[in-house]
A and B are shown apart, each in its own frame.
Chain A
Amino acid sequence: MKEILIEVKNLKKHFRLSNQETVHAVDGVSFAIRKGEIIGLVGESGCGKTTTGRLILRLIEPDEGEILYEKENILSFSFREMMSLRRKMQIIFQDPFSSLDPRKSVENLIAQPLKIHNFGNKKKIKERTIFLMDKVGLTREMSTKYTHELDGGRCQRIGIARALALDPVFIVCDEPVSALDVSIQAQILNLIEGLSKELELTYLFISHDLSVVRRLSHRIMVMYLGLIVEVASSKELFGNPFHPYSKALLSAVPSLKLSKQRKRIILKGDVPTPINVGSGCRFFPRCDQALSICSHIDPLSKEIKPNHYVACHLYT
């Protein structure tokens, strides 16, 4: 098994809305990502997955916890150390249009990280830019175009090229295809997958869409209201989900195999908000298999099967 590239320990991030209300966006998340793997992070909107992605890159500062990159805690990095770290850890955003400066041409957008990190003279930068454009499937004629002249798929390719500019090792993909038409989604996903193999990249693939995550990820983490409730390999999770929430999520995934048509589990109750969560399991209000213990004790994560973890009292 490859070595651990990134390890996250007890990561917490709270947002204070007002004097009484705090959003516990990420409330004690721990996981490890190995070199070369594609690990999916799924959950509904508001569960904290996007925040987690941002925290790993230190785009937001965590309130508690550690983030280790190759065994070093990046939270104690100086500005310069972070600069060199940014060459290795990158991010692809969800909205291809608003994540790209509309005033810059495609060329300049891709070259921006190169310029920031003093990659070299104009010639070297231009060469690298063309190389990157080729890699993501953009033609040379597009270098002088602007984002408002292109479609979502092409813009997302720009975002990918930009992320690849400095030869990163790890990329956070924050819902990279959620804003794209279904027909284009497949293309971009293929591209992302291909690049991972070709360039030996490690991905944290964030999405609310399980079907998208399924084919790409080696392992999947399921997140709910700021906590990870289940972690398993892709095959295991889809074959044998344990946590009631995971089961509900999976039931909503359409399956082509008629025989495997799952029974739709409809969760009762409104979508909760991660504001002022009390003690006890977060999922308790919506869980149809809840035990009495679930209402006042937060379940801890346990390894049910090899490399399959669940945080649920049903399995303790």
Chain B
Amino acid sequence: MFWKRFKRDRAAVIGLGILVFIICLSILGPIFAPYDPAEQSLAKRRQLPNWENIFGRDAFGRDIFSRILFGARITLIAGLSVVISAMIIGTILGTFSGYWGGLVDILIMRAMDFILAFPTFFLAILIVAMLGPSLFNAIIAVTITTIPQYARVVRGATLSLKGLLYIEAAKAMGASDIRIIIEHIIPNLIGPIIVLASVGLGGAVIMVAALGFLGMGAQPPTAEWGLMLSEGRSYITSNPHMTMIPGIFLVIFVLGSNLVGDGLRDVLDPRLK
């Protein structure tokens, strides 16, 4: 039903195409990758793109094309993990906060305000500093910085839904609070949440890649695009392809997800335009 409206937005469809392309890369890529992404070759270091290696080789002689393919999977999974975790945790916190109010609300909202008091990226690198550098910790860090958005939106929606008469009717029937939240409140939240998630996917991916770029995310020899960017940085004057190519792919991914996000938002929540 929404699909028809979505299809009309050409930009969004292009975005979806891009995303599908990336998804294919991430699923099929590693199977068809010509080389082992970790296989080094000291003789062929920093090779520019050629017929044998479409994207050339990096500072350690690894085939960049294969690394891009593996990196697609990593980036996609990282982004989705962040967004889905933040969505779930944010929804739980938001509904509890909005539905029960009182002390629970105050505590949860204070916690959210606390997170928001830090400039976002500072908090992310602090969390990674505390946990130790790894892709998993980077995902955790970015998730934590994203949760407050979801919690706030969900809380707002819950507050306005709370007063609906059919919720009171459910209470009269003896429905427990949890049942009401699951059966009545959450189905009405799906719209705004999906919009937040799809618009936020791009940002999440960038943040995880940024942490990788700083060496605080994925660690070598993982083929994460942000890490690849920083690894190629020293040779930017002589062999820019090592940095440029992973970056271009990042841009493509984020562009795709932003287009889809905007499209979804126009379909699900036109007044937000």
Give yes or no for direct A-B contact (beta carbon below 8 Å): yes
Chain A residues with CB under 8 Å of chain B are 57, 59, 82-83, 86-87, 90-91, 93, 95, 98-103, 112-113, 116-117, 159, 162
- Does B272 make an interface contact (CB < 8 A)? no
B184 interface residue, CB < 8 Å from A? yes
| Of listed B164, B165, B171, residue having the most chain A CB within 10 A | B165
Question: What residue in chain A is nearest B170 (Cβ atoms)?
Answer: A112
| CB-based nearest B residue for A57 | B172
- The residues of B that contact A93 with a CB separation of less than 8 Å are 165, 168-169
* A82 and chain B: residue at smallest CB distance: B174
A101 to B183, CA, bound (A): 10
- B182 at the binding interface (Cβ < 8 Å): no
The main secondary structure of chain B at its interface with chain A is helix
- Asked if residues A100 and B172 are in contact (CB atoms below 8 Å), the reply is no
Contact of B21 with A by CB under 8 A: no
Enumerate B155-187 residues with CB–CB distance to A below 8 Å.
164-166, 168-175, 179, 183-184, 187
Q: A95-B165, A99-B165 are in contact. Are A59 and B172 (CB under 8 A)?
A: yes
Contact between A87 and B174 (Cβ–Cβ < 8 Å)? Answer: yes
Contacting pair A100 B174 (CB below 8 A): no
Structural contact, B173 and A112, CB atoms closer than 8 A: yes
For the complex formed, measure the closest distance between the CB of B4 and the CB atoms of chain A, giving whole angstroms.
20
**From B166, B172, B174, contact of A101 by CB (8 A):** B166
A100-B169 in contact (CB<8A): yes
The distance from the CB of A82 to the nearest CB of chain B, in whole angstroms, is 7
Q: Is the CB of B173 within 8 A of A116?
A: yes
Nearest B residue (CB) for A113: B173
A103 to B167, CA, bound (A): 12
Number of interchain pairs (Cβ within 8 Å): 46
Would you list the 10 A-B pairs with minimal beta carbon distance, nearest first? A86-B174, A98-B165, A113-B173, A99-B165, A101-B166, A99-B169, A91-B172, A83-B174, A116-B175, A99-B166
- Which chain A residues lie closer than 8 Å to B173 at the CB level? 86, 90, 112-113, 116, 162
Do B174 and A113 have beta carbons less than 8 Å apart?
A: yes
Least Cβ–Cβ distance between A131 and chain B, in angstroms? 18
Residue of A nearest to B187 (CB): A103
> What residues on A are CB-neighbors of B184 within 8 Å?
101
Q: Are B164 and A98 in contact (CB under 8 A)?
A: yes
Chain B residues within 8 Å of A162, by CB: 169, 173
Decide: A90 and B166 in contact? CB cutoff 8 A: no
* B-side contacts of A117, CB under 8 Å: 174
Q: In the complex the two chains form, what is the Cα distance from A59 to B166 in whole Å?
A: 13
Contact between B174 and A98, CB atoms less than 8 A apart: no
Distance (whole angstroms) from the CB of B34 to the closest CB of chain A: 51
B170, A86: Cβ atoms closer than 8 Å? no
Cβ of B174 and Cβ of A116 under 8 Å apart? yes
| B 175-202 to A, binary, CB cutoff 8 A, 1 in contact else 0 | 1000100011001000000000000000
Of the candidates B165, B166, B171, B183, the one having the most CB atoms from chain A within 10 angstroms of its own CB is B166
CB distance from A108 to the nearest CB of B (A): 10
CB distance B168 to A59 under 8 Å? Answer: yes
- B164 to nearest A CB, angstroms? 7
Q: List 9 A-B contacts (CB under 8 A).
A: A59-B168, A90-B173, A93-B165, A98-B166, A99-B165, A113-B174, A116-B173, A116-B179, A162-B169
Contacts of A112 in B (CB 8 A): 170, 173, 175
A100→B168 contact, CB < 8 A: no
The chain A residue with its CB closest to the CB of B164 is A98
Looking at B174, B179, B187, the one whose CB has the most chain A CB atoms below 10 A away is: B174
Chain B CB within 10 Å, residue with most, of A83, A101, A112, A159:
A101
